[in-house]
Amino acid sequence: MQAQFDRRDFMKLAGYGGVVFATGLSPAYAAAAGKDFFFVQLSDTHWGFSGPPNPEAASTLKRAVAAVNTLPRQPDFIMFTGDLTHTTDDPKERRRRLAEFKEIVAGLAVKNQRFIPGEHDASLDKGEAYQEFFGRTYYAFDHAGIHFVALDNVSDPGAKLGQAQLDWLKADLAQIDKDRPIIVLTHRPLFDLQPEWDWATADGKAAIDILTPYKNVTVFYGHIHQEHHHMTGHIAHHAATSLIFPLPAPGAQPKRAPVAWDPAAPFKGLGFRSVGSGDAPGNPVIKQYPVA
């Protein structure tokens, strides 16, 4: 990781709003998590959107794919945290958008790709079309000593994880040591960031309660189309920029209307990020990249 992200490199990128976050890990897992690794998070690509907030909507995702492909070192895997497509009432059109999205991201050099839905993909049909293309909407996997949990707080249009998923989460984590590093991936914030704007998960607190006994938990999510960093107790929550249009800061204005496209600075506020093991094993280091 250090070879990949030296400090000078980071300082330069900090100009884009990138910030380093570190969460301590027990030495017991330093060995297991010792392998340098990083993944790339892309979020809220909203394939199928068209409108003044992004006159380059038809090219933005493709530019992001190209930008990821030019990273000097390629990520271990790529994580998409929802709103892959922009919503539509037409089930055929939804499938068309999902198929096109899948075809475009097949152009990523890294073939290890993981997905979760956003409400635009899944809330109108409870995830039916999404699952045809991408399978399960919540799941767990291990990588480099870290336990990853992907949660679905969108297939229920009321922004709930639901009891079945919470039970699954509890059972999944029951097999995990309390000091094992855990990374949670989800679309909506699990905490009440701005409930007036649906920037919350109705039963997110139940998930946080299940996660709280674990000492090293970091949550990466999307939905709010901007970077945001928040702690609930010792759990860090990091929101990602989008790849379609930025949204205003929480509560900054009455409506959550998109930030207007700036012709003088196209793609401003859009981007993706890498999350890496950092200078101490398992300490997530977040780096923000512009899309163009």
Partner 1 sequence: MTGLLRRLAAGAGFAVAVCAGAIAFHAVLPMAAEPRVIRITAKKFEYNPQKIVLKKGVPVVLELVALDRIHGFRILGLGLRADVLPDQAVRVEFTPDKAGRFVFACDVFCGDGHEDMDGVIVVEE
Give the DSSP letter string of 101-167.
HHHHHTTSS---EEEE--HHHHTTTTTHHHHHHH--SSEEEEETTEEEEE--SSSBTTTB--HHHHH
**Cα angle vertex 108, ends 106, 113, to 5°?**
75
Nearer to partner 1, 39 or 49 (CB): 49
Pick from 88, 96, 170, 179 the residue near partner 1 by CB under 8 A: 88
Helix axes 163-174, 204-211, angle to 10 degrees: 10
Q: Select 83 or 227, whichever has its Cβ closest to partner 1.
A: 83
Among 3, 8, 89, 175, binds partner 1 (CB under 8 A): 89
Indicate the residue type of 175: Q
Stretch that binds partner 1, among 65-73, 153-161, 165-173, 283-291 (CB under 8 A): 153-161
Least distance (Å) between residue 244 CB and partner 1:
13
DSSP letter at 202? T
Question: Is the dihedral angle over the CA atoms 103, 288, 279, 140 positive or is it negative?
Answer: negative
- Closest to partner 1 by CB, 154 vs 210, is 154
Can you tell me which of 95, 198, 230, 250 binds partner 1, judged by CB under 8 A?
Answer: 198
Decide: helix, strand or coil at residue 245.
coil
Q: Which one of residues 24, 135, 157, 251 is an interface residue with partner 1 (CB under 8 A)?
A: 157
92 sits near partner 1 (criterion: CB under 8 A) = no
Should residue 196 be labelled a site residue for partner 1 when binding is judged by CB under 8 A? yes
Q: 266 pairs with which residues across the strands? A: none
Binding site for partner 1 (CB under 8 A): 86-89, 119, 123-124, 154, 157-159, 195-198, 255-257
